[in-house]
Amino acid sequence: MKDIIPLLLVYAYVATLVLISENLIKTEFLARKFLHIMVGNIVFLLPFFESREVMAFLAAFPFVILTFLMTPYSPVKLGSRTTISGHYLGLFYYSIAWTILAYFLFHRMDAISLGIVAMSYGDAFASIVGVHHGKKKFKVFGDTKSLEGSLAMLLTCIVMFSIVSLYYTSKVEPILFLFAVLATFFEAITPKGLDNLSVSLSVAFLYSVVT
């Protein structure tokens, strides 16, 4: 099977990240954000997959099960510093989003990748900057956000969207700025860790429709 190599690379890469985040990074918050960000680099492996089913059900879906088992809601307790910090189901939602995108947008790897980096890099930097430097706070649906965090989200998305676009199309489209704004908006208004779903799915599906 031609997909065996990228599949094994995904498993090896994520396993390495988990080992680093669980054992080498001192604080739970930074360990979680490290994992959240670095998993996003999977987008650079997507073009090597040739089967929708392999990408969706073998590369992505197993992490739905694993990340749920690592939450306090699992009947099987797999202790993890990266899931007890922050929203318990954040990484679980992350995995669901990747699975959905892999199956329904397999023909648009660029759109999938924009959705993934929006939630991995964008959302994580919004949180990091918001926690450590956020002074201008606002509340939406019970969650406290900050203007500084939203600005970090916007700038990070602009940078990462440009990198992804260059990787897939060798050019940077001006419309990517609008999608960075869209990602920032959904991150700002979505509570309870659900931004890992709302940001990635909205960006990816809308981008696939308008481009």
Whole-number average pLDDT of the chain: 90
Residue with tokens 């990340």: 67
Q: How many domains does one find in the chain?
A: 1
Q: Which residue has the higher pLDDT, 80 or 76?
A: 76
What is the C-alpha separation between 163 and 149, in angstroms, rounded?
21
Res 77: pLDDT: 65
State if pTM tops 0.85.
yes
Domain span including residue 36: 4-210
Quick: pLDDT tens for 96-107.
Answer: 999 999 999 999
What is the C-alpha separation between 190 and 199, in angstroms, rounded?
9
Q: Which residue has the higher pLDDT, 79 or 40?
A: 40
Q: Residue 83 above 70 pLDDT?
A: no
C-alpha distances out from residue 192 to 3, 4, 143, 197, 199, Å: 35, 36, 7, 11, 13
- Indicate the pLDDT class of residue 81, thresholds 50, 70 and 90: low
What average pLDDT score do residues 166-171 get? Answer: 96
Q: Residue 108 above 80 pLDDT?
A: yes
